[in-house]
Amino acid sequence: MALNGNGCCWIQERILSRNGCSVFLAPRSRSSAVILPRKSTALSFSSSFQFQGFVVDRKQSSSSMQTAAVRHLVGSVTKTQGLRFAVVVARFNEIVTRQLLEGALDTFRKYSVNEEDIDVVWVPGSFEIGIVAERLGKSRNYHAILCIGAVIRGDTTHYDAVANSVASGVLSAGLNSGVPCIFGVLTCEDMDQALNRAGGKSGNKGAECALTAIEMASLFDHHLK
């Protein structure tokens, strides 16, 4: 920084704006300063911003702006040819889980998934779902894994421990295998609530989760390989 004979302040410091355009302060009196943009091919922007006490005017050059098209990647529920699925089902509370399974299989059929492309694996309880789902995912034989179970609250804290562990296990299975693992495990207060969600008045969560499995399998197969 230097002063000339007229008391003007010369500022040699270069300021780099957010768009990469180099600008310099022109000689003005101490009370004011304007910024002159150096010739640049970088984009400039409208409006202004405060920078170290100076107001910088940013002019937009619409002719030089290039707008890239935004891509939306969405899984399809109609293109199911060649997709393979595994369904891991807990045997505990089978009166509920079997109805969830039937709802899932009906949905797979409805959306033209071949029956030979579906494998059903039974495990003793919901706690065992995670490790089996991860092993199936790592086999690279399936495009998505649907996990079905029912955890119903009892008179002890066992419910909370199992419900949290099952959710964590299914999440870890998907993250560790890189294959979508869909959480189709009911966590309910009582048996009536569970049955209502397994084909009763609240619908069938197994069917809903099967549709999620199809969409995620399609998304990964067509867009995220």
Please identify every residue annotated as catalytic.
158
Please say whether the beta carbons of 181 and 221 come within 8 A. Answer: no
CB-based contacts of 37, cutoff 8 Å, min separation 6? 21, 22, 23, 44
CA atoms within 13 A on the CB side of 219: 14
SS3 225: coil
24, exposed or middle or buried, with CB in 10 Å at 0-12, 13-18, 19+? middle
